[in-house]
Chain A
Amino acid sequence: MDAIKDFFYMGGYALYVWGSFGVTALLMIAEPLVLAGKRREMIRRLRRLARLQSEQSS
Protein backbone atom coordinates (compact mmCIF):
# COMPACT_ATOMS: atom_id res chain seq x y z
CA MET A 1 0.00 0.00 0.00
CA ASP A 2 2.72 2.48 0.89
CA ALA A 3 4.38 1.86 -2.47
CA ILE A 4 1.39 3.64 -4.00
CA LYS A 5 1.60 6.36 -1.36
CA ASP A 6 5.32 6.79 -2.13
CA PHE A 7 4.56 6.96 -5.81
CA PHE A 8 2.12 9.81 -5.38
CA TYR A 9 4.45 11.52 -2.90
CA MET A 10 6.90 11.80 -5.84
CA GLY A 11 9.86 12.50 -3.58
CA GLY A 12 8.19 15.55 -2.12
CA TYR A 13 7.44 17.09 -5.52
CA ALA A 14 3.87 15.81 -5.61
CA LEU A 15 2.29 19.25 -6.09
CA TYR A 16 4.61 20.14 -8.94
CA VAL A 17 4.67 16.82 -10.77
CA TRP A 18 0.94 16.13 -10.42
CA GLY A 19 0.13 19.80 -11.01
CA SER A 20 1.93 19.51 -14.33
CA PHE A 21 0.77 16.07 -15.44
CA GLY A 22 -2.75 16.67 -14.14
CA VAL A 23 -3.40 19.89 -16.06
CA THR A 24 -1.75 18.47 -19.17
CA ALA A 25 -3.92 15.34 -19.03
CA LEU A 26 -7.00 17.49 -18.39
CA LEU A 27 -6.33 19.65 -21.45
CA MET A 28 -5.38 16.78 -23.73
CA ILE A 29 -8.58 14.94 -22.83
CA ALA A 30 -10.81 18.04 -22.94
CA GLU A 31 -9.75 19.12 -26.42
CA PRO A 32 -10.80 15.90 -28.21
CA LEU A 33 -14.04 15.80 -26.21
CA VAL A 34 -14.87 19.38 -27.20
CA LEU A 35 -14.15 18.52 -30.82
CA ALA A 36 -16.31 15.39 -30.67
CA GLY A 37 -19.16 17.49 -29.26
CA LYS A 38 -18.76 20.07 -32.00
CA ARG A 39 -18.77 17.32 -34.62
CA ARG A 40 -22.04 15.86 -33.32
CA GLU A 41 -23.64 19.29 -33.39
CA MET A 42 -22.31 19.96 -36.90
CA ILE A 43 -23.70 16.67 -38.22
CA ARG A 44 -27.11 17.46 -36.67
CA ARG A 45 -27.09 20.88 -38.35
CA LEU A 46 -26.12 19.38 -41.71
CA ARG A 47 -28.90 16.79 -41.45
CA ARG A 48 -31.48 19.50 -40.82
CA LEU A 49 -30.05 21.49 -43.73
CA ALA A 50 -30.22 18.46 -46.04
CA ARG A 51 -33.80 17.74 -44.97
CA LEU A 52 -34.83 21.36 -45.61
CA GLN A 53 -33.27 21.30 -49.05
CA SER A 54 -34.99 18.05 -49.99
CA GLU A 55 -38.38 19.39 -48.75
CA GLN A 56 -38.00 22.56 -50.81
CA SER A 57 -37.00 20.67 -53.94
CA SER A 58 -39.76 18.02 -53.67
Chain B
Amino acid sequence: MSSRILNWFKFSSPATFYPLAGKIQKVATVTAVVLLLIGLYMSFFVAPTDYKQGEGYRIIFIHVPAAWMSMFIYMVMAFWAAMGLVFRTRLSFMMARALAPTGALMTFIALWTGAFWGKPMWGAWWVWDARLTSELILFFLYIGYIALQGAIPDVRRGDRAGAILALVGVVNIPIIYFSVKWWNTLHQGASVSVTKGSSMSAIMLEAMLIMTFAFWAYSIAVAMARVRLVILERERDTRWVSELPEVRG
Protein backbone atom coordinates (compact mmCIF):
# COMPACT_ATOMS: atom_id res chain seq x y z
CA MET B 1 0.00 0.00 0.00
CA SER B 2 1.69 3.26 -1.05
CA SER B 3 2.22 5.66 1.80
CA ARG B 4 -0.06 8.23 0.19
CA ILE B 5 -3.12 6.02 0.74
CA LEU B 6 -2.07 5.17 4.29
CA ASN B 7 -1.58 8.82 5.12
CA TRP B 8 -4.98 9.66 3.64
CA PHE B 9 -6.59 7.43 6.22
CA LYS B 10 -4.39 8.86 8.98
CA PHE B 11 -6.99 11.49 9.82
CA SER B 12 -9.79 9.00 9.83
CA SER B 13 -9.02 7.99 13.39
CA PRO B 14 -10.71 10.16 16.03
CA ALA B 15 -7.49 10.52 18.05
CA THR B 16 -5.53 12.08 15.18
CA PHE B 17 -8.48 14.08 13.85
CA TYR B 18 -9.42 15.65 17.22
CA PRO B 19 -6.45 18.11 17.35
CA LEU B 20 -6.75 18.84 13.62
CA ALA B 21 -10.44 19.70 14.06
CA GLY B 22 -9.40 22.08 16.82
CA LYS B 23 -7.04 23.93 14.52
CA ILE B 24 -9.61 24.10 11.70
CA GLN B 25 -12.16 25.40 14.19
CA LYS B 26 -9.89 28.26 15.27
CA VAL B 27 -9.04 29.33 11.71
CA ALA B 28 -12.68 29.04 10.61
CA THR B 29 -13.88 31.06 13.60
CA VAL B 30 -11.52 33.96 12.86
CA THR B 31 -12.44 33.82 9.16
CA ALA B 32 -16.14 33.80 9.96
CA VAL B 33 -15.94 36.80 12.30
CA VAL B 34 -13.85 38.87 9.89
CA LEU B 35 -15.99 38.03 6.86
CA LEU B 36 -19.22 38.62 8.79
CA LEU B 37 -18.07 42.10 9.84
CA ILE B 38 -17.05 43.00 6.28
CA GLY B 39 -20.17 41.39 4.83
CA LEU B 40 -22.55 43.13 7.23
CA TYR B 41 -20.86 46.48 6.61
CA MET B 42 -21.23 46.00 2.86
CA SER B 43 -24.80 44.74 3.20
CA PHE B 44 -25.95 47.91 4.93
CA PHE B 45 -23.58 50.69 3.90
CA VAL B 46 -22.08 49.76 0.54
CA ALA B 47 -24.82 47.92 -1.33
CA PRO B 48 -27.18 50.51 -2.89
CA THR B 49 -30.90 50.81 -2.28
CA ASP B 50 -32.95 48.64 -4.59
CA TYR B 51 -35.06 50.61 -7.09
CA LYS B 52 -38.12 48.44 -6.43
CA GLN B 53 -37.76 46.95 -2.93
CA GLY B 54 -35.95 49.88 -1.33
CA GLU B 55 -34.11 48.78 1.84
CA GLY B 56 -36.23 45.64 2.30
CA TYR B 57 -34.17 43.65 -0.19
CA ARG B 58 -31.19 43.69 2.23
CA ILE B 59 -32.60 40.53 3.74
CA ILE B 60 -31.09 38.80 0.69
CA PHE B 61 -27.66 39.09 2.36
CA ILE B 62 -28.61 36.45 4.93
CA HIS B 63 -31.51 34.69 3.22
CA VAL B 64 -29.52 33.42 0.23
CA PRO B 65 -26.36 32.38 2.12
CA ALA B 66 -28.46 30.51 4.69
CA ALA B 67 -30.49 28.80 1.95
CA TRP B 68 -27.35 27.78 0.06
CA MET B 69 -25.80 26.51 3.29
CA SER B 70 -28.94 24.53 4.18
CA MET B 71 -28.61 22.58 0.93
CA PHE B 72 -24.80 22.37 0.94
CA ILE B 73 -24.62 21.10 4.53
CA TYR B 74 -27.16 18.40 3.75
CA MET B 75 -25.09 17.22 0.79
CA VAL B 76 -21.93 17.14 2.92
CA MET B 77 -23.87 15.29 5.62
CA ALA B 78 -25.11 12.72 3.08
CA PHE B 79 -21.56 12.39 1.74
CA TRP B 80 -20.20 11.51 5.18
CA ALA B 81 -23.13 9.17 5.74
CA ALA B 82 -22.24 7.35 2.52
CA MET B 83 -18.55 7.31 3.45
CA GLY B 84 -19.44 5.81 6.81
CA LEU B 85 -21.55 3.08 5.27
CA VAL B 86 -18.93 2.23 2.62
CA PHE B 87 -15.72 2.44 4.65
CA ARG B 88 -17.27 1.74 8.05
CA THR B 89 -15.17 4.63 9.44
CA ARG B 90 -16.93 5.75 12.61
CA LEU B 91 -15.50 9.25 12.28
CA SER B 92 -17.53 9.74 9.07
CA PHE B 93 -20.72 9.04 11.01
CA MET B 94 -19.55 11.46 13.71
CA MET B 95 -19.09 14.18 11.06
CA ALA B 96 -22.61 13.57 9.75
CA ARG B 97 -24.01 13.86 13.28
CA ALA B 98 -22.00 17.04 13.89
CA LEU B 99 -23.38 18.75 10.78
CA ALA B 100 -27.11 18.08 11.23
CA PRO B 101 -27.95 20.70 13.90
CA THR B 102 -26.18 23.47 11.98
CA GLY B 103 -27.93 22.38 8.78
CA ALA B 104 -31.26 22.54 10.57
CA LEU B 105 -30.37 25.98 11.89
CA MET B 106 -29.48 27.26 8.45
CA THR B 107 -32.71 25.84 7.01
CA PHE B 108 -34.71 27.54 9.75
CA ILE B 109 -32.94 30.84 9.04
CA ALA B 110 -33.67 30.47 5.32
CA LEU B 111 -37.36 29.82 6.05
CA TRP B 112 -37.60 32.58 8.68
CA THR B 113 -35.85 35.29 6.64
CA GLY B 114 -37.78 34.15 3.56
CA ALA B 115 -41.06 34.66 5.40
CA PHE B 116 -39.92 38.07 6.71
CA TRP B 117 -39.00 39.04 3.17
CA GLY B 118 -42.10 37.52 1.60
CA LYS B 119 -44.52 39.37 3.86
CA PRO B 120 -43.67 42.91 2.60
CA MET B 121 -42.97 41.84 -0.98
CA TRP B 122 -45.55 39.11 -1.66
CA GLY B 123 -47.97 40.03 1.06
CA ALA B 124 -47.80 36.64 2.80
CA TRP B 125 -45.64 35.08 5.51
CA TRP B 126 -46.05 31.65 3.92
CA VAL B 127 -47.18 30.26 0.56
CA TRP B 128 -47.32 26.57 -0.43
CA ASP B 129 -44.87 27.33 -3.21
CA ALA B 130 -42.63 24.60 -4.64
CA ARG B 131 -39.38 26.13 -3.36
CA LEU B 132 -40.73 26.97 0.11
CA THR B 133 -42.40 23.59 0.53
CA SER B 134 -39.32 21.59 -0.47
CA GLU B 135 -37.18 23.71 1.86
CA LEU B 136 -39.66 22.97 4.65
CA ILE B 137 -39.32 19.25 3.86
CA LEU B 138 -35.54 19.72 4.13
CA PHE B 139 -36.08 21.15 7.61
CA PHE B 140 -38.16 18.13 8.62
CA LEU B 141 -35.45 15.84 7.19
CA TYR B 142 -32.84 17.45 9.41
CA ILE B 143 -35.10 17.26 12.46
CA GLY B 144 -36.01 13.67 11.59
CA TYR B 145 -32.32 12.75 11.29
CA ILE B 146 -31.51 14.29 14.68
CA ALA B 147 -34.59 12.76 16.33
CA LEU B 148 -33.95 9.33 14.81
CA GLN B 149 -30.39 9.21 16.09
CA GLY B 150 -31.52 10.59 19.42
CA ALA B 151 -34.04 7.80 19.75
CA ILE B 152 -31.68 4.90 19.06
CA PRO B 153 -29.59 4.15 22.17
CA ASP B 154 -27.15 1.91 20.38
CA VAL B 155 -24.65 4.25 18.73
CA ARG B 156 -23.73 1.99 15.83
CA ARG B 157 -27.35 1.29 14.89
CA GLY B 158 -28.13 4.98 15.23
CA ASP B 159 -25.27 5.85 12.88
CA ARG B 160 -26.50 3.36 10.31
CA ALA B 161 -30.18 4.35 10.52
CA GLY B 162 -29.31 8.04 10.31
CA ALA B 163 -27.02 7.47 7.34
CA ILE B 164 -29.76 5.68 5.42
CA LEU B 165 -32.27 8.44 6.17
CA ALA B 166 -29.74 11.10 5.10
CA LEU B 167 -29.10 9.29 1.80
CA VAL B 168 -32.81 8.83 1.10
CA GLY B 169 -33.34 12.55 1.71
CA VAL B 170 -30.65 13.63 -0.76
CA VAL B 171 -33.18 13.48 -3.61
CA ASN B 172 -34.84 16.54 -2.04
CA ILE B 173 -31.82 18.78 -2.70
CA PRO B 174 -32.07 18.95 -6.53
CA ILE B 175 -35.83 19.31 -6.09
CA ILE B 176 -35.30 22.43 -4.00
CA TYR B 177 -32.72 23.79 -6.41
CA PHE B 178 -34.72 23.24 -9.57
CA SER B 179 -38.16 23.76 -8.01
CA VAL B 180 -38.24 27.36 -9.21
CA LYS B 181 -37.75 26.23 -12.77
CA TRP B 182 -39.84 23.07 -12.85
CA TRP B 183 -42.94 24.36 -11.16
CA ASN B 184 -42.37 28.09 -11.60
CA THR B 185 -44.64 28.96 -8.69
CA LEU B 186 -44.08 32.15 -6.67
CA HIS B 187 -40.40 32.06 -5.68
CA GLN B 188 -38.19 33.79 -8.31
CA GLY B 189 -35.65 31.85 -10.35
CA ALA B 190 -31.94 31.71 -9.71
CA SER B 191 -30.34 35.09 -10.17
CA VAL B 192 -26.91 33.63 -9.53
CA SER B 193 -25.79 30.55 -11.37
CA VAL B 194 -22.40 28.98 -11.81
CA THR B 195 -22.90 28.79 -15.56
CA LYS B 196 -24.59 32.06 -16.47
CA GLY B 197 -22.98 34.38 -13.90
CA SER B 198 -25.50 36.66 -12.21
CA SER B 199 -28.12 39.20 -13.02
CA MET B 200 -27.42 41.12 -9.80
CA SER B 201 -25.51 44.38 -9.50
CA ALA B 202 -21.83 43.75 -8.87
CA ILE B 203 -21.77 45.31 -5.40
CA MET B 204 -24.84 43.42 -4.21
CA LEU B 205 -23.40 40.19 -5.53
CA GLU B 206 -20.05 40.86 -3.88
CA ALA B 207 -21.67 41.57 -0.52
CA MET B 208 -23.77 38.41 -0.82
CA LEU B 209 -20.77 36.26 -1.75
CA ILE B 210 -18.77 37.57 1.21
CA MET B 211 -21.71 36.76 3.48
CA THR B 212 -21.87 33.29 1.88
CA PHE B 213 -18.22 32.61 2.66
CA ALA B 214 -18.83 33.97 6.17
CA PHE B 215 -21.71 31.51 6.66
CA TRP B 216 -19.52 28.75 5.25
CA ALA B 217 -16.70 29.52 7.68
CA TYR B 218 -19.25 29.72 10.51
CA SER B 219 -20.67 26.29 9.64
CA ILE B 220 -17.21 24.73 9.47
CA ALA B 221 -16.24 26.23 12.83
CA VAL B 222 -19.42 25.01 14.53
CA ALA B 223 -19.27 21.58 12.90
CA MET B 224 -15.67 21.14 14.04
CA ALA B 225 -16.59 22.18 17.58
CA ARG B 226 -19.47 19.73 17.63
CA VAL B 227 -17.51 16.83 16.09
CA ARG B 228 -14.88 17.27 18.82
CA LEU B 229 -17.69 16.95 21.35
CA VAL B 230 -18.99 13.81 19.68
CA ILE B 231 -15.46 12.36 19.63
CA LEU B 232 -14.92 13.10 23.33
CA GLU B 233 -18.28 11.55 24.14
CA ARG B 234 -17.60 8.36 22.23
CA GLU B 235 -13.95 8.01 23.19
CA ARG B 236 -14.42 8.96 26.85
CA ASP B 237 -13.05 5.63 28.12
CA THR B 238 -9.87 5.74 26.06
CA ARG B 239 -6.43 6.56 27.38
CA TRP B 240 -5.73 9.28 24.78
CA VAL B 241 -8.76 11.23 26.01
CA SER B 242 -7.74 10.92 29.65
CA GLU B 243 -4.29 12.22 28.72
CA LEU B 244 -5.60 15.28 26.85
CA PRO B 245 -4.18 18.48 28.34
CA GLU B 246 -7.67 19.86 28.94
CA VAL B 247 -8.69 16.68 30.79
CA ARG B 248 -5.50 16.05 32.76
CA GLY B 249 -5.64 19.73 33.77
Interface residues of A (CB under 8 A from B): 7, 10-13, 15-17, 19-21, 23-24, 27-28, 31-32, 35-36, 38-39, 42-43, 45-47, 49-50, 53
Which of these binds chain A: B77-85, B110-118, B187-195?
A: B110-118
A13 and B225 contact, Cβ closer than 8 Å, known pairs A23-B109, A24-B113: no
- B206-249 vs A, CB cutoff 8 Å, 1 = contact: the mask equals 00000000000010011001101100110011000110101111
A35 and B225 contact, Cβ closer than 8 Å, known pairs A11-B49, A20-B63, A43-B247: yes
A20 touches B113 (CB 8 A): yes
Interface residues of B (CB under 8 A from A): 44, 49, 54-56, 58-59, 62-63, 66, 101-102, 105, 108-109, 112-113, 116-117, 119-120, 218, 221-222, 225-226, 228-229, 232-233, 236-237, 241-242, 244, 246-249
By a CB distance below 8 angstroms, the chain B residues around A20 are 59, 62-63, 112-113, 116-117
- A-B contacts counted at CB < 8 A amount to 89
Residue of A16, A28, A36, A46 near B116 (CB, 8 A) is: A16
B55 touches A10 (CB 8 A): yes
State A52–B109 Cα separation when bound (angstroms). Answer: 43
**Most interface-central of B55, B63, B120, B249 (chain A CB within 10 A):** B55
State A31–B104 Cα separation when bound (angstroms). Answer: 12
Residue of B56, B59, B222 near A35 (CB, 8 A) is: B222
A35 and B226 contact, Cβ closer than 8 Å, known pairs A11-B54, A17-B55: yes
B109 touches A24 (CB 8 A): yes
State A29–B221 Cα separation when bound (angstroms). Answer: 12
B66 touches A24 (CB 8 A): yes
B225 touches A39 (CB 8 A): yes
